[in-house]
Structure 1
Amino acid sequence: MNVDFPLIQILLNLVKSGLKRVVVSYDVACKYNINFERRITHCDWPLVTSIELQALKSIELTWLVPKFHLAAHIEGCADKYSFNWTKNVGRTCGENVESNWSSLNGLATSVREMGFGSKML
């Protein structure tokens, strides 16, 4: 559920902008997408209204697992969730966001979130 709400907000904004097709690259997309609609419409804590759900259903969502993580999945995942076999994604790996983390580690102490009680002056 922690990922559901921000993802829904992003998808709704993409729908408003007119996009018709969205590719979601997530390390565990093969499992995460299985009950996505059921989770976001659960009667005890629905995350979307019926109008928002219709808007989400108007786009084609493609769920893929990034190449680096796909190697650790079962063979069936590779067939269904691979960037290599998916139309219209080019030669993308789905890992670009993570590729520069090691070079940014040195900045971590100066850009982290800090409350008033823990700020370093």
Structure 2
Amino acid sequence: MRPRVLVVDWDEGEAHALAAAFAAAGWAASVRLNSIDGLVAVEDERPMLVVLRWDMPYIDGDTFVRAMAVGLATPPPVLVLAAPAVADAPPRLPLRAAWQPVSTPPAAVLRRAQELLGLPTHSSSV
């Protein structure tokens, strides 16, 4: 079974670029462009990982993560994409998480996700 990732990001282009990078590496990837739909998808899809944009409208990243931690018996780890100032000094979260600057290229986000989950990383260079 392929690992499943849920990308929650208000920037449609960024979200689909991230999903494409994961899909090219063999993941089943889905995208939600708002945090409310993202929370529903976490419950419905049970992804192995959530890639979350921290500065989401309606429900911000902190509230999103806390809702997952309270609402799910086993919430998935979260790879948070945030402004560099936040990613460099992130707040503590109630579940397994890693932080990346929002401007990180999709391939680097994929590698960081693999590291977070303890999966082998593969270089695209020959």
TM-score of the pair, normalised by structure 1: 0.32
Q: Which has the larger radius of gyration?
A: 1
TM-score of the pair, normalised by structure 2: 0.31
| Structure with greater helix share of residues | 1
